[in-house]
Amino acid sequence: MEDNLPQSKLIDAGRRWIIGIVASVTMLCGAAGAAHAQCVERSERVAQIALDAFVSEPSSLLNQLRNEKEKLSGRLEGYLVTDISVLRSVQGLTRAATQADRASIGTALHRAEIRCRATKSEIARKISDFVAKMHDSAVLAGYSSEPDDVPLPPPTTANMPKPGASMMSGEYKTELADPFASMPLPE
């Protein structure tokens, strides 16, 4: 009986080691998959915490943006072009949405598809297939109301300092610039 004790400890240690390796490989593959699922530059992506909050409770977006259809479609479009895996949560969002909100969801889906066409055509195809499978007339109405030839909005650069900007500002560079302004991320 005592001979089996060290052997069982070795087996348990081996199992923990294998589980650790499998978990590490899964995390690395997940991170690589997320990097390939983005249609926009890093500066245009939505924060991961916002994506996680949307995935965990899609209807919270409707509560945050009551009666603000344009903001709803803009935010949802940002989520979709940042990470296409949030597309699964759009179904739950649609179930909780009103008729007018569903049209905004359709508009967001179409705008996200347009933005993804140039860089990630397979993601754009996933979005159009998702809309076709939904069979929701309000979503389809919003989706088809948006023309295909709409120019893309310029990237948001409101808080980014100009290239070569320093921490000093003003006419004679004697005033301190905003130390809390966003810095551009290296590409």
Query: Which of the four pLDDT bands, split at 50, 70 and 90, describes residue 44?
Result: confident
Summarised one tens digit per residue, pLDDT across range 139-179 is 888 888 877 665 555 554 444 445 545 667 777 777 777 77
Q: What is the per-residue pLDDT for 158?
A: 44
Task: Transcribe 80-129 into DSSP letters.
Answer: HHH-GGGHHHHHHHHHHS-HHHHHHHHHHHHHHHHHHHTT-HHHHHHHHH
Check residue 23 and give its pLDDT: 65
Q: Which of 124, 70, 132 is nearest to 101 (CA)?
A: 70
**Which pTM was predicted?**
0.60
Name the residue type at position 171: E
Contact 168, 177 (CB under 8 A): yes
Residue 32: pLDDT over 50: no
State pLDDT tens for residues 55-111. Answer: 898 888 888 878 788 888 888 888 888 888 888 888 888 888 888 888 999 999 999
Q: What pLDDT score was predicted for residue 26?
A: 65
Which pLDDT score, from 0 to 100, does residue 160 have? 46
